[in-house]
Amino acid sequence: MPPKKSTAKNLDAAPSTMKELKDTLWKAADKLRGSMDASQYKDVILGLVFLKYVSDAFDERREQIRAELTADGLNDEQIGQLIDDTDEYTGRGVFWVPARARWTYLAQHAKGTQATLDEHAKGIGELIDDAMAYVMGANPSLAATLPMIFNKDNIDQRRLGELLDLFNSAKFTGQGATKARDLLGEVYEYFLEKFARAEGKRGGEFYTPAGVVRVLVEVLRPDHGRVYDPCCGSGGMFVQAEKFLEAHHKEGSEISVYGQELNERTWRMAKMNLAIHGLNGNLASRWGDTFARDQHPDMQADFIMANPPFNIKDWARSESDPRWKYGVPPAGNANYAWIQHIISKLAPGGSAGVVMANGSMSSNSGGEGEIRAQLVEADLVSCMIALPTQLFRSTGIPVCTWFFAKDKALGAHGSVDRTGQVLFIDARNLGHMVDRAERALSDEDIALIAGTFHAWRGTPPVVEPSPPVEPSPVVESVETLPVVEQRALRARRDQEAQTPVVEPVETLPVVEQRALRARRDQEAQTPVVEPVETQSSVETPYADIPGFCYSATLAEIKAADYALTPGRYVGAADVEDDGEPIEEKIARLSAELFAQFDESERLAAVVREQLGRVS
């Protein structure tokens, strides 16, 4: 029988691929599924993933320091005196991990420790709880964040030990702390989504589908200042904001994150999620109810993104609350309480995006219609988007997004004055089915929605820093080729330079075909203006597209009794004219129909004849 592979060898394994990591960790979840409920095993798995990551990142940084000191000519004794300098770790974005919290120590004692003169015997659950306490004690930013639930009676200690063995095949290192953090961040988000699906309706309390969050982020572009979420769940809004910054070559330090969360477990998940992504977030010192006690009372945000729980009937309502500037929300529904709280937190020039149930756009019960009218007349609403159904696995309620802006005038926020106007986008026909129960928005869908808003607002395109120019070995200098090949290459390059790349309209979805045709028609009618360096320009001008988008005035909205449902304004999509006169078309179709009738009668006679022969 071959010898069993050692734990140490497993720990030194090559870095896992993303698929291997996901498969390994989901197997880990399955190991505990039978002994606890979904919400508890979620905390166990995510807590262990986090502990494994901080330990792997710490070990990798430790080896880097050792290599640097060795290269400087220091001996082992000198290295031993310097290698435990905490600043050498925390200064590189790596958490300090005390010796008894490191994964190697836990793996060596996966079956627990024996009693000694100084310490009682400990099982693996107690050792992991201790490790969590050590890490939080050494890193103030993680205070009161990590779960200490591993020594509870309902957690099978034998399975927990097996779980550690399984985790030894996963490493979150090999490419530096930043790459390791990105790797774990993706794994963490993947499992948040998986656990949200497993928990069904309760999963919606801590997870918003990434496509919905990206719509908010791409429309708002939160690239500076304070970013706030009053019901932050597991922190997905902040993570997508950080990804937006990274995609545009900016640092997460350019935003300051503020949030609040009611549920203790979810608050802890959010704290871990921010730590994994290197975001210094202020989620208050503990969880709490945003309505009962705003934990950021004096904070004014530049950007607010939120997905509040829909249609809450039992909430901390006070009629004298100063946040109800536009009317007191009804006791039986907190939708307009969330909206007014969010507006109260906006700084001058700030903007917000909020996911709401569709009913919020037209409801008149409990005074909601009057509040909505006040919001419209105050010119706070900038855009309303009706989203496709089935984006949320946790609820069948159709959803929309409200966008608010404190400043819609010509200026830093846009080159087009949209004072007194609201953009309506009907995106219900976008998206694709992932399976029979869930729909998702593609990158193209999100780009179409965000691009329409930014064209309407006149928002300057996001400026991308020019990447360093690297010499390409593929392109040869023309002069080094034989004369005949020089001429052929020059001719080919001239041809390519004169041939515009035009995407075939027919390959796009119907709604996008109409949008693209309308924009191309608009561009054809717009005179070409040479760009001026000091003037912000928009890539494509805005145009109303029947069935998709419409820019309405406040007077039009008032005439519709302040209903904000996009379908009321965008109308029906134009039916393309095929050029055939209607009289000729009717005559042609009638002739085709009568011909089909004649053919049907002929075939019926043939069938009767054949049946007569059989009988």
Residue 615 has pLDDT above 90, yes or no: no
In which band, very low, low, confident or very high, does the pLDDT at 408 lie, cut at 50, 70 and 90?
very high
In which band, very low, low, confident or very high, does the pLDDT at 359 lie, cut at 50, 70 and 90?
very high
Let me know if residue 606 belongs to a domain.
no
Let me know if residue 124 belongs to a domain.
yes
Q: Are 134 and 95 in contact (CB under 8 A)?
A: no
**pLDDT value, residue 113:** 92
Q: Per residue, what are the HEC states of 480-547?
A: HCCHHHHHHHHHHHHHHHHCCCCCCHHHCCHHHHHHHHHHHHHHHHCCCCCCCCCCCCCCCCCCCECC
In which band, very low, low, confident or very high, does the pLDDT at 160 lie, cut at 50, 70 and 90?
confident
CATH of the domain at 59: 1.20.1260.30
Q: Are 149 and 43 in contact (CB under 8 A)?
A: yes
Domain shared by 244 and 101, yes or no = no
User: Where is pLDDT greater, at 247 or 536?
Assistant: 247
**pLDDT value, residue 364:** 95
Let me know if residue 114 belongs to a domain.
yes
Of the chain, the percentage scoring pLDDT greater than 70 comes to 76
Q: What is the pLDDT of residues 126-136, one digit of tens each?
A: 999 999 999 99
Structure tokens at 220: 């708002």
Domain shared by 282 and 389, yes or no = yes
**pLDDT value, residue 52:** 87
**pLDDT value, residue 503:** 44
Domain boundary, last residue among 427, 457, 487: 457
Residue 83 has pLDDT above 70, yes or no: yes
In which band, very low, low, confident or very high, does the pLDDT at 392 lie, cut at 50, 70 and 90?
confident
Q: What is the pLDDT of residues 309-333, one digit of tens each?
A: 999 999 999 999 999 999 999 999 9
Let me know if residue 224 belongs to a domain.
yes
**pLDDT value, residue 266:** 87
Let me know if residue 150 belongs to a domain.
yes
User: Where is pLDDT greater, at 493 or 594?
Assistant: 594
User: Where is pLDDT greater, at 565 or 575?
Assistant: 565
Domain shared by 362 and 258, yes or no = yes
The amino acid at 368: E
Provide the mean pLDDT of the chain: 81
**Size (the chain), residues:** 615
* Mean pLDDT of all residues in 36-45: 75
User: Where is pLDDT greater, at 127 or 206?
Assistant: 127
Residue 537 has pLDDT above 50, yes or no: no
Domain shared by 104 and 216, yes or no = no
User: Where is pLDDT greater, at 277 or 496?
Assistant: 277
Please count the CA atoms within 13 angstroms of the CA of 583 that sit on its side-chain side.
0
Domain shared by 164 and 229, yes or no = no
Please count the CA atoms within 13 angstroms of the CA of 19 that sit on its side-chain side.
0
**pLDDT value, residue 366:** 94
**pLDDT value, residue 5:** 41
Alpha-carbon distance of 579 to 602, in angstroms, equals 34
Domain shared by 89 and 211, yes or no = no
421-426/549-553 β-pairing? antiparallel
**pLDDT value, residue 186:** 72
Q: Are 442 and 432 in contact (CB under 8 A)?
A: yes
Angle at 298 between CA 295 and CA 299, to 5 degrees: 85
Domain shared by 387 and 439, yes or no = yes
**pLDDT value, residue 125:** 94
In which band, very low, low, confident or very high, does the pLDDT at 416 lie, cut at 50, 70 and 90?
very high
CATH of the domain at 438: 3.40.50.150
In which band, very low, low, confident or very high, does the pLDDT at 578 lie, cut at 50, 70 and 90?
low
Let me know if residue 67 belongs to a domain.
yes
Of the chain, the percentage scoring pLDDT greater than 90 comes to 49
**pLDDT value, residue 457:** 96
Structure tokens at 161: 């030990």
* Mean pLDDT of all residues in 484-491: 48
Domain shared by 156 and 220, yes or no = no
**pLDDT value, residue 250:** 85
**pLDDT value, residue 336:** 98
Residue 161 has pLDDT above 90, yes or no: no
Domain boundary, last residue among 156, 184, 212: 184
In which band, very low, low, confident or very high, does the pLDDT at 437 lie, cut at 50, 70 and 90?
confident
* Mean pLDDT of all residues in 109-115: 90
Structural domain harbouring 363: 204-314+323-457
User: Where is pLDDT greater, at 378 or 210?
Assistant: 378
Alpha-carbon distance of 283 to 230, in angstroms, equals 9
Residues contacting residue 109 through CB under 8 Å, at least 6 positions apart: 124, 127
**pLDDT value, residue 488:** 47
Domain shared by 210 and 177, yes or no = no
Residue 12 has pLDDT above 50, yes or no: no
Domain shared by 101 and 136, yes or no = yes
- Minimum mean pLDDT among 61-75, 324-338, 571-585: which range? 571-585
* Mean pLDDT of all residues in 497-526: 48
The amino acid at 267: W
Residue 22 has pLDDT above 80, yes or no: no
State the burial class of residue 228 (Cβ atoms within 10 Å of its Cβ: 0-12, 13-18, 19+): buried
Let me know if residue 272 belongs to a domain.
yes
Residue 27 has pLDDT above 80, yes or no: no
**pLDDT value, residue 132:** 97
The total domain count for the chain is: 2
Domain shared by 166 and 238, yes or no = no
Three-state DSSP class for residue 231:
coil
Residue 263 has pLDDT above 80, yes or no: yes
Domain shared by 245 and 127, yes or no = no
**pLDDT value, residue 7:** 40
* Mean pLDDT of all residues in 153-182: 70
Domain boundary, last residue among 423, 457, 491: 457
Let me know if residue 163 belongs to a domain.
yes
